[in-house]
Amino acid sequence: MKQFKTKALVSALALCQFAAYAQDEQSSDEKKVKVSEELVVYGEIGYRNRSQELAPTLEYSQEYFQRFEPLTAGDALKRVPSVTFLSDVLESDGARMRGLSPAYTKVLINGEEVPGAGADRSFFVDRIPAELIERVEIIRASSANRSADAIAGTLNIVLRDGYSLDGGYLRAGGLRYDDGELKESFAGVYGTEFAGGRLLLGANLQGRYNPKQKSSLRYGDSPENNANYKTEEFDNREDQSDTRDGDDTSLNASYEIAFDNGSKFDISAIWVDTDRTEDERSFEYDDPTAINNSIVEGGNLETDNANVSFIDQTNYNINSGYELPLFGGTSKFKLGFASFEESVYEQEVEIDTSELPMVFEEEEETVDLDDKEWSLQWQHSLFAGESKTIQFGAFVQGKERDTAVYQAEGESEQSFTSWDQFSKTPLSLAGFNNEFEAAAGGVNKLEEDRLDVFALVKHEDQDFSWELGVRYETTDSTITDKAEGVSAKNDYDFFLPSAHLRYNVSENGRVSASVARSLRRPDFDYITPALLEKELG
């Protein structure tokens, strides 16, 4: 390291001398290229932390993410090699691992399950402010003491606790965008000793603004089949503006205390509220480049579409744990409650300007979602000698999810013969007085009960470590279509074995291997008694 620093210093001095000489020679010349005046060289490469877990686990600490200044957990996870997103531009909501959809990835907060908005049971990680993150764990194989519904892997977002900070700080900032929009960014965290334990309190307000301009050229065939596809197979062009504007407000707290008898108690809570507006406007033309009025006026505009969504989401969870010496070992009891509520109102209107009379269509949709989960866990550990641990326990969970989706639509012919898409909006034509009807399968209630038991044996020493375990999961689900008054049940159970080993070949090297059986729980849409029309694949 000393040799590297010496060489870097000599190189830096040489660059400074060369830059000074060049400035003397060309001081009278006008600068035509603006270059960076400061070059920052990090002496060390940023690495993930080395985890001592037997299950293959990648750990990324807060220090790893701070260099990238993320706004949300989604922004932070974009910097992790094994996590990807296929969301819209500037969005990082549904995390993907191993190239699979977000439904195959289990997202935990402080090791506990959380409900999400998607019918595929996925959770949007971009609703969690990056300010709250202590570290992120990526667990690539299941173990008996964790839920096995993680085929792609598990993302465990560990939030700050009372031991991560002594004192506090306040942060205030803002983001200015090219179109002049300003968004606020405020945060405060305080950690201190309280009643013999450690207390942490935090608050965060993060403004988010994602403006996008997109253009799409659509063709009926590809260059593999037609060399002149650009002219012979051209269908249309779409120019779209898409602005996502919102605010995320969060509060979090945690308290931990250790007692003289060896027992420990902890409780933590997080509350996140999202208020968001998504505003889209798109124009379709029958020409690759033209920007003019409607086809009926001799122009190229086929359709003018406007789509606005108003989204309000609130999610929170409270978890507590008590650990104590018991029956010659250590027992830990956990109690948790999590809730996710969402309200969405969407308007979409479109006018067809390709022929007379112009046809105007309007659609509305309301979505109200209320998902609540409670869980109770017990885990007991016995130490068999200096290197072996026997662990067993049980997990009970109850879930209730109420969904209400209503839709309304209408169509009318317009009497006017011209349309200026740059001075008018289709929203000005909408009355939004159509009658709402329940969407197919959209008004339902899900009740799901789980009972899991597990056992494992673990051996750990300096050179060779291994773990063998099995988990038995049972699930009873009932979903009721309230619109039709019919119910469907889906009950299943699985034995899920797992095994992990690690061999330390040297001080800086080791070999790990894992095998585990996992499962994916069905989408809610797959078990509903309603007949749904969907395009799969």
Q: Compute how many other C-beta atoms are within 10 angstroms of the C-beta atom of residue 137.
A: 19
pLDDT in tens, 439-454: 988 899 999 999 999 9
Q: Check pLDDT > 90 for residue 91.
A: no
Q: Is the pLDDT at 509 greater than 90, yes or no?
A: no
Measured CA to CA, the distance from residue 356 to residue 210 in angstroms comes to: 37
- Residue recorded with tokens 């605010």: 247
Q: Name all contacts of 21-28 with Cβ < 8 Å and 24+ positions apart.
A: none
Distance, CA of 307 to CA of 167 (rounded, Å): 47
Token pair of 381 as six digits: 């550990």
Higher local confidence (pLDDT), 406 or 148: 406
Listed residue (230, 206, 373, 215) closest to 283, CA to CA? 215
Q: What tokens appear for 396 in the block?
A: 């009970």
pLDDT at position 42 is 60
Q: How confident is the model at residue 367 (pLDDT cuts 50, 70, 90)?
A: very high
**Rg (Cα) of the chain, in Å, rounded?**
29
Structure tokens at 453: 């038991």
Q: What is the reported pLDDT for 64?
A: 86
Cα distance between residue 429 and residue 431, in whole Å: 7
Percent of the chain with pLDDT over 90: 54
Percent of the chain residues topping a pLDDT of 70: 89
In whole angstroms, what is the distance from residue 383 CA to residue 401 CA?
41
pLDDT at 82: 81
pLDDT for the residue 38 = 64
Left (φ > 0), alpha (ψ -120 to 50) or beta: where does 262 sit? Answer: left
Pinpoint the alpha helices (H) of 159-260: 229-232
pLDDT of 437 strictly over 80? yes
Q: What is the mean pLDDT of residues 266-276?
A: 94
Top-confidence range, 48-52, 158-162, 320-324: 320-324
* Higher pLDDT, residue 26 or 368: 368
Question: Residue 356's pLDDT is what?
Answer: 92
The single residue listed with the structure tokens 């506090």 is 168
Residue in the structure block whose two tokens are 């402010």: 129
CA atoms of 149 and 128, how far apart (whole Å):
22
Full DSSP string of 116-158? -SSTT---BGGGSBGGGEEEEEEE-S--TTS----SSEEEEEE
Enclosing H/E stretch for 445: strand 437-459
Most confident range, picked from 114-128, 150-164, 239-253 = 239-253
Q: What is the pTM of this model?
A: 0.82
The model's pLDDT over 15-56, given as tens digits with 9 standing for 90+, comes to 334 344 444 444 444 434 444 456 666 656 555 666 778 888
In terms of Cα–Cα distance, which of 135, 182, 205 is closest to 163? Answer: 135
Q: Is the dihedral of CA 157, 159, 165, 170 positive or negative?
A: positive
Q: What CA–CA distance (Å, rounded) separates 296 from 285? A: 12
314 vs 43 pLDDT, higher one: 314
Backbone angles phi, psi at 126, to 5 degrees: -75, 5
Is 11 a residue whose pLDDT tops 60?
Answer: no
Angle, vertex CA 495, rays to CA 489 and CA 500, nearest 5: 140
Is residue 487 within 8 Å of residue 528, measured between CB atoms?
no
Q: What does DSSP assign to residue 427? A: G
The model's pLDDT over 233-249, given as tens digits with 9 standing for 90+, comes to 999 999 999 999 999 99
pLDDT beyond 80 at 165: no
Which amino acid appears at position 65 of this protein?
A: F
The tokens describing 79, both together, are: 């910097």
Which residue in 186, 136, 133 sits closest to 160, CA to CA? 133
Q: How confident is the model at residue 4 (pLDDT cuts 50, 70, 90)?
A: very low
Dihedral sign from CA coordinates of 206, 207, 213, 217: positive
Quick count: other Cβ atoms within 10 Å of Cβ 347? Answer: 17
**Does position 5 have pLDDT exceeding 50, yes or no?**
no
Q: Which of 48-52, 339-343, 532-536 has the highest mean pLDDT?
A: 339-343
Across the chain, what does the average pLDDT equal? Answer: 86
Cβ of 50: how many Cβ atoms within 10 Å?
Answer: 10
pLDDT value at residue 131 = 82
